[in-house]
Structure 1
């Protein structure tokens, strides 16, 4: 397998190229949280139960996780630009389909197609950023990516609430299409052309199918645990995951560019960075699911104060992400990530201690702990993204980009499942216990990050 020399985007159009790419990244992040917020309205409009309505979200999540790594592998073979543009086109068409859906079944179908399109964007976006920015400026690009992902995820509930106050739910999906079309046109014009790796080996569709089954069943298992499904369902999906995972590893043995990038995971710096990312996003999943219950039920705060407190985390992340990106071009990501996740762990521990103090805690003290969480999380993300992408060889950047997205999605799903477990074990105090567990996972991430100082 051979590759050509990397050509970076000229400085004059670099930020236009990044803007076109981040438009799609923003829509993908925004879409996830918008759909979560809109579930009650969708269920009421279609006269379906909450348990049925949740498939609007599950179909999207399962599709994203199922095809993420196969599309990343295609990015290495076809070129990241081609996979990104096809994913963006599919996402926009499916958004129109979701807006026109007349039943929950059709809506879930189009949401799954949107998930495939979003996976096309997520699987290669960092690989494209690495083509836009030269190594000495890569941290800035990674910082902007982290900023946009955070903004999309945090603004979704607000955007959905405002739109639903004036418009029916289909507009939440229909309005994505014109923004996506604009981004697609700019991306087609300004994104750098990426060379495909030259290889005579055919694309292994069976490997892609095994990867899809393995990771979709993993997310389904976590969801089944969170929804307290029966033992048969949980064990059955777990067996399916383990069986397909075993077959996947066995079949891809000896492949130069495997779908599940075990070749990259053998690199200590890469694997430690991926596990650090998983720990941090498990903490985020624990926090974002548990904190609304924690503030309102354990600390007795009204919904408005809860919304303000949640926005503090997001705003501080938005401020820190580009700063951390610039710092990552000067200082070791292992140190920045270790410091950031230690601060996140401190903030989560402070919130957990407040659960013991009850309603006597001041609003300012809660906001301070949320700001610490946002500062730590924002300081970690950009340096860690840079570490992952620079530790992979040039011809495997799409595979590395796919692993970044996979670690984030599996981490968030694991965090949500752990919150459900805490509620089952501790009842009304479950939210506080989940927050303390988040302090532990963040501390574990800090230790993994600092371990990279000795990695080669």
Structure 2
């Protein structure tokens, strides 16, 4: 199939956009409410952070197994099932009277998000004609950037006027719209009859869960023997998992796709880019408040140009990727982002919001040029039957990069370098490496 006919295509785009915005915003909205939740539940800040950490960890542990399951039972069925679980667990979060029940509801919510996100990119491929795939992925990047920009503002408003519980259900109307419209408009890409290995799914979850948990524990300075034990167990689970996947006809970890040099370079480059962006974005508020005296509201306004610039350049990059090689666009994008990072590292004394904002816009513009063409190259390189696995790989790669970036920032803060220019310099090195990976794909001619 080569995309949906109009007007059904537009309805499907609307459904996917609502679902994407729902999950991006619900992943970010609780961040703003964490201090309020900690105070009203009478828990410490580290316990409150678990509300976010549990969500992210379950996502990264389950995306690949659920993408494999989605390929088997059908993309639309998996997407709609994920939305149902997500909406139902949002209501459970709203009703949760204590932290343990809230964490359990958030874990269930992350499972629903993983089910929908695991097949989202594959559905985008099925919605758009192949010659417009880059445009479609660029538009999807706009939705992600827009939702990420709106979430802090909306979250702050909700917490200031109503009870914090409403944070978890504020976007439910978006989910209901996505569910109703998607049932009629999303393409019904049929699955296959090959079995999915429960052992493979378990090993995948253990490999990602233990490895990331061990790294985060080390970065936080937790009990060293315990942290190292968790990390070693994660490394062993990863080795066993990868060796097993190499022997599977339809692997959960798409090693068959990673054997393609272009796909492997795209994934490695994106990993560098995601770690780089998370490193400087998480550390920048500390630097702006501690060294430049910014107020929290001023920090938000200074950082906002990053997603806003992505909103402008992502659709342009998507359209250009339908005509020009994504490797060229990605290389240019990461060169621009590297320049922006270096400019952020060299912020002059007495810098104003304007001085920060235009540098953030440069970085955002570079990332917008890189991300959607990079995703297009991965999705288009996969056979249609493996599109869900390719999409799951992209999402897992992004989440793993964000988790590693957060661990790196925690380690820098622990050593006294998290609030100086070091994170921006590290970010510049990582974006430069991402650009090298992007350009290296040109030798393959696609």
What is the match of residue 3 of structure 1? none
1:442 is the counterpart of 2:431: yes
What is the match of residue 206 of structure 1? 199
What is the match of residue 33 of structure 1? 28
Q: CA, structure 1 residues 160+88, in 2 after alignment: closer, same or farther (shift >3 Å)?
A: same
1:234 is the counterpart of 2:223: no
What is the match of residue 321 of structure 2? 328
What CA distance in whole angstroms lies between the structure 1 residues aligned with 2:404 and 2:172? Answer: 31
1:407 is the counterpart of 2:400: no
- Residues 74-104 of structure 1 show CA distances to partners (whole Å, capped at 9, x for unaligned) of 1222221111111111000000000000110
In the superposition, the TM-score normalised over structure 2's length comes to 0.97
What is the alpha-carbon root mean square deviation over aligned residues? 1.4
What is the match of residue 385 of structure 2? 395
What is the match of residue 358 of structure 1? 349
Question: Would you say the 8 A contact 1:81–1:194 is kept in 2?
Answer: yes
Which of 199, 211, 224 does residue 217 from structure 2 map onto?
224
What CA distance in whole angstroms lies between the structure 1 residues aligned with 2:73 and 2:152? Answer: 36
Q: 1:415 deviation in Å? A: 1.1
What is the match of residue 422 of structure 2? 433
Q: 1:375 deviation in Å? A: 0.7
What CA distance in whole angstroms lies between the structure 2 residues aligned with 1:226 and 1:19? Answer: 40
- Residues 209-240 of structure 1 show CA distances to partners (whole Å, capped at 9, x for unaligned) of 11011111122123213322121232121112
- Higher mean alpha-carbon deviation, 214-223 vs 90-99, is at 214-223
Which of 103, 120, 130 does residue 115 from structure 2 map onto?
120
What CA distance in whole angstroms lies between the structure 2 residues aligned with 1:25 and 1:57? Answer: 18
Q: CA, structure 1 residues 381+429, in 2 after alignment: closer, same or farther (shift >3 Å)?
A: closer
Aligned residues: 445
What is the match of residue 188 of structure 2? 193
What CA distance in whole angstroms lies between the structure 1 residues aligned with 2:282 and 2:102? Answer: 25
1:29-428 alignment, distance < 5 Å: 29-199=24-194, 202-354=195-347, 357-359=348-350, 361-425=351-415, 427=416
In the superposition, the TM-score normalised over structure 1's length comes to 0.94
Q: 1:197 deviation in Å? A: 2.8
Structure 1 residue runs of 5 or longer lacking an equivalent are 1-5
What CA distance in whole angstroms lies between the structure 2 residues aligned with 1:352 and 1:80? Answer: 44
Question: Would you say the 8 A contact 1:66–1:213 is kept in 2?
Answer: yes
For the residue of structure 2 that corresponds to 1:444, the secondary structure is helix
Q: CA, structure 1 residues 415+431, in 2 after alignment: closer, same or farther (shift >3 Å)?
A: farther
Question: Would you say the 8 A contact 1:290–1:434 is kept in 2?
Answer: yes
Question: Would you say the 8 A contact 2:3–2:130 is kept in 1?
Answer: no
- Residues 374-399 of structure 1 show CA distances to partners (whole Å, capped at 9, x for unaligned) of 11011111111111101111111010
